[in-house]
Amino acid sequence: MTEYMKDTVLAEFFDNYGSGGDIACYFAPGRINLIGEHTDYNGGHVFPCALPFGTYIAVRRRDDAVLRLSSVNFPKDGIITTDIRSLTPLSDSSWTSYVKGVIWAVLDRTDSEITGMDIMIGGDVPAGAGLSSSASLEVAVGYMLSDQFGLGFSNQEIALIGQRAENDFVGVNCGIMDQFASAMGKEDHAIFLDTNTLEYDYVPLSLKDCSIIIANTNKPHSLNDSAYNDRRRECSEALKEINAFLHAYPDSDEASAGDIDALCQLNQEDFDRVKECITDPVILRRARHAVTENQRTEDAVKVLQAGDIDAFGKLMNASHVSLRDDYEVSCPELDLLAETAWTIPGVIGSRMTGGGFGGCTVSIIKNSSVDEYEKIAGEKYREAFGYDCTFIRGAAGDGPRRL
């Protein structure tokens, strides 16, 4: 697939911009999150892995400041032209804002000269599926800029640049997980990341006789148009109320360390002692999800390292229930796929993955049961919603690279 996508992007580059000059190609992967959802902006742990498919870029530097962008995936858009000296945050809602945002963030970070470019982009991450097509694009552009202009950014720096672009230029208040997973991916490993400190460990994905199966609802989600930013606001409100309580009762056990900076600094026991200070039941549920999901993620990594795949699967299932009931970011399509999976022998665990409100589920399934799962889940989905979901065989892949 890599060579096919590279050749496709190059062919479109030649058709749009001509074949002369020094043309380079780059790749950055999408990601799947196995557990740890909506914890990254709450200072918690996540457990994603990079995927073997993602975003491909062909680029040729120019001698002026003109930026020309086009995409295999959006052929009707044609060539979009702008000046890299006039990039303005929050001014563009198209796919090009992710490219422009990274360039803008890089320009703000370095004194090195960045010239204009001709860029062709293509990707095999389904857009809106919750597999981080946007982060894949951001990381691919960041890696390309670092290589083309000799900026020397580490992959971790590239992840942070991508996050800043999405937060401050695109206007999506995302955490660091998606960009970090794409930039730091390692084949056959997932990343156990503390989003508060950016400390991380690579954990081998030893799934024995099981596979990772992604089920795409084909119901796109849009973080801009969804309640994603509302969830961040609700978590901030919960944190504010907890810290107000700690100030009001300075002799409490929880107050000994002063204010907490993020909900996931609380363990379950700590949260149970302070939760009564959160007066709004909706805000309480949001906070409870953040705290319990962080604990589930820590526990999931421990049982996986111990070789207990069944326990890992049960934690995946509990994660979906919490996302459905406490965080309310699931939807009927995701629920049907996850809940159907739970009834099929050989399915170890299944949950929604990504921001929610559509997108995908991720399941760990015994290889001998994959066909049965896809048949049953596919038939039930079509009967319920009138169109097909699609299934993708997942695997842990490497991070960005020049092709």
pLDDT at 257: 47
Q: What is the pLDDT of residues 166-175, one digit of tens each?
A: 999 998 888 8
pLDDT class for 245, splitting at 50, 70, 90?
A: confident
Q: What is the pLDDT of residues 118-161, one digit of tens each?
A: 999 999 988 778 788 999 999 999 999 999 999 999 999 999 99
Tokens (6 digits) for 354: 């990504």
Exposed/middle/buried for residue 107 (C-beta within 10 Å: 0-12, 13-18, 19+): middle
Is a pLDDT exceeding 50 seen at residue 255? no
**Residue with the two structure tokens 């996850």:** 338
pLDDT class for 202, splitting at 50, 70, 90?
A: very high
pLDDT at 59: 98
Q: What is the pLDDT of residues 258-300, one digit of tens each?
A: 578 999 999 999 999 899 899 999 999 999 999 999 999 999 9
Tokens (6 digits) for 34: 């196995």
pLDDT at 256: 44
Report phi then psi at 155, rounded to 5. -65, -30
Ramachandran region, residue 206 (left: φ > 0; alpha: ψ -120 to 50; beta: rest): beta
Scanning 45-129, the segments in alpha helix (DSSP H) are 96-109
Q: What is the pLDDT of residues 8-60, one digit of tens each?
A: 999 999 999 999 899 999 999 999 999 999 999 999 999 999 999 999 999 99
Tokens (6 digits) for 137: 């694009």
Question: Which residues are the active-site residues?
Answer: 178
C-alpha neighbours within 13 Å on the C-beta side of residue 231: 31
Across the chain, mean pLDDT equals 93
Q: In the predicted model, what is the mean pLDDT of residues 331-354?
A: 96
**Residue with the two structure tokens 């050989």:** 346
Percentage above 90 pLDDT, the chain: 82
Is a pLDDT exceeding 80 seen at residue 101? yes
CB atoms near residue 186 (< 10 Å): 17
Rg of the chain over Cα atoms, rounded to whole angstroms, equals 22
Q: In the predicted model, what is the mean pLDDT of residues 305-334?
A: 96
Q: What is the pLDDT of residues 369-399, one digit of tens each?
A: 999 999 999 999 999 999 999 999 989 999 9
- Give residue 93's identity as a one-letter amino acid code: S
Which of the four CATH numbers 3.30.1330.30, 3.30.230.10, 3.20.20.140, 3.40.630.30 does domain 2-206+398-402 have? 3.30.230.10
Is a pLDDT exceeding 70 seen at residue 359? yes
pLDDT at 277: 92
pLDDT at 389: 96
Q: In the predicted model, what is the mean pLDDT of residues 236-241?
A: 94
Is a pLDDT exceeding 50 seen at residue 224? no
Q: Which has the closest alpha carbon to 390: 221, 220, 214, 222?
A: 214
Give the residue with greater pLDDT, 307 vs 126.
307
pLDDT at 226: 61
Q: In the predicted model, what is the mean pLDDT of residues 194-222?
A: 90
Report phi then psi at 245, rounded to 5. -65, -45
- Give 127's DSSP letter: T
Domain ranges of the chain: 2-206+398-402
Is a pLDDT exceeding 80 seen at residue 222? no
Distance, CA of 254 to chain centre: 32
Asked whether 353 and 319 are in contact (CB, 8 A), the reply is no
pLDDT at 258: 58
CB atoms near residue 394 (< 10 Å): 24
